[in-house]
Amino acid sequence: MAARRKGDAVDGVLLLDKPGGITSNLALQKARRLLNAAKAGHTGTLDPIATGLLPLAFGEATKFSADLLEADKEYEATLALGVRTTTADAEGEVVETRPVAVTRAQLEAVLAGFTGTIEQTPPMHSALKRDGRPLYDYARRGIEIERAPRSVRIERLVLLAFDGAAARVVVECSKGTYVRTLAEDIGAALGCGAHLAALRRTRVGDLTLERAVTLAALEVMPAAVRREWLLPVDALLGDLPRIDLGDRQAALFAHGGQLDLGVPTEGPGRRRVYGPDERLLGLAELDERGVLNPRRLISTENAR
């Protein structure tokens, strides 16, 4: 007989301001313990060196955690010019140093060249897998694996501060963008080399850091107050169009039934679906004929 999972049935989304120096999984487990939650998951990891927004899903919200992987991200990044490292960030060993003679105008011109759709080669120190093993396993053994470049999109790349040796920038980018690779490529374009000295994530989709809480703050709160920081289950679906159903349609949908809603005016695609009591029923796919197909359903009456 399987052991019963410890903790309460907690449903919702916690926006965590992750500290540097710990993995996303460790941050998740600490938050889970503080909320005494039986089920938890994250919506995509941050490197240990990175700080900032880490949305965590609890209970029924874990059914939608993968949907946030597709969302655009925003970061504040600090680039150290003149120094290249093995990992393209501050955790790696220094492999090259060069003098820096870059003006602000030169830097801004190079940044402009990285805006839009660009090609990136994934770094060896990454979790991408080859033959079932992450690339960082090969990198630690000194093995270089050929990686195909892939397209990512940089929506915005703005210089916030520059002192001649370090640059602080805002990066708005698509999923799959490696900011440390971007830092290294910018350094190469400048001719002096660079690495990512610091990284802070400020936005994921429509979720922002302003609503986030730190682990340190959660630890000193009364236990009952901690759960007040939870957002509703549908906080992970805020960028999707909404469909509201009446009693009869909601009952059919909640049991996995398809619904013919007629040709959609907003076009086909994913929809978040609600019942007449404003309760989230789940996630669905609306096809071009207007047929609503359930994909993931909420199974608890306690989901908000």
Q: Digits of tens for pLDDT over the chain (304 positions)?
A: 344 568 888 999 999 999 999 999 999 999 999 999 999 988 888 888 899 999 999 999 999 888 787 889 999 999 999 999 998 999 889 999 999 999 999 999 999 999 999 998 776 665 666 666 666 666 676 666 676 788 999 999 999 999 999 999 999 999 889 999 999 999 999 999 999 999 999 999 999 999 999 999 999 999 889 999 999 999 998 888 899 999 999 999 999 999 998 877 778 889 999 998 888 999 999 998 889 999 999 874 543 4
DSSP code for 101: -
DSSP code for 36: T
Question: What is the torsion angle, in degrees rounded to the nearest 10, for the CA atoms of residue 217, residue 220, residue 223 and residue 225?
Answer: -50
Query: What local confidence, expressed as pLDDT, does residue 133 receive?
Result: 67
Query: What local confidence, expressed as pLDDT, does residue 256 receive?
Result: 92
Domain with CATH 2.30.130.10 in the chain: 240-297
Q: What is the pTM of this model?
A: 0.87
Domain with CATH 3.30.2350.10 in the chain: 12-70+206-233, 73-204
Cβ–Cβ under 8 Å, residues 63 and 298: yes
Phi-psi region of 230 (alpha: psi -120 to 50; beta: other; left: phi over 0): beta
Q: Is 141 helix (H, G, I), strand (E, B) or coil?
A: coil
Query: What local confidence, expressed as pLDDT, does residue 251 receive?
Result: 92
Cβ–Cβ under 8 Å, residues 56 and 31: yes
Separation of first and last alpha carbons in the chain: 32
CA distances to 119, 151, 184, 187, 207 from 148, rounded to whole Å, are 10, 10, 17, 21, 31
12-70+206-233 belongs to CATH 3.30.2350.10: yes
Contacts of 163 (CB under 8 A, 6+ apart): none
Nearest-angstrom CA–CA distance, 304 and 12 = 7
Strands 242-244 and 269-274 turn out to be parallel
**Total number of residues shown for the chain:** 304
Name the token pair of 270: 């994913």
Name the token pair of 159: 């210089």
Q: Is 157 exposed, middle or buried (0-12, 13-18, 19+ CB in 10 A)?
A: buried
Q: Which helix (H) or strand (E) holds 187?
A: helix 179-190
Cβ–Cβ under 8 Å, residues 236 and 55: yes
Nearest-angstrom CA–CA distance, 68 and 212 = 16
Q: Is 248 exposed, middle or buried (0-12, 13-18, 19+ CB in 10 A)?
A: exposed
CATH of domain 73-204: 3.30.2350.10
Nearest-angstrom CA–CA distance, 230 and 227 = 5
- Considering the domain 240-297, what is its CATH architecture? Roll (2.30)
Catalytic-residue membership of 11:
no
Active-site option among 47, 89, 185, 234: 47
Query: What local confidence, expressed as pLDDT, does residue 127 receive?
Result: 60
Query: What local confidence, expressed as pLDDT, does residue 45 receive?
Result: 84
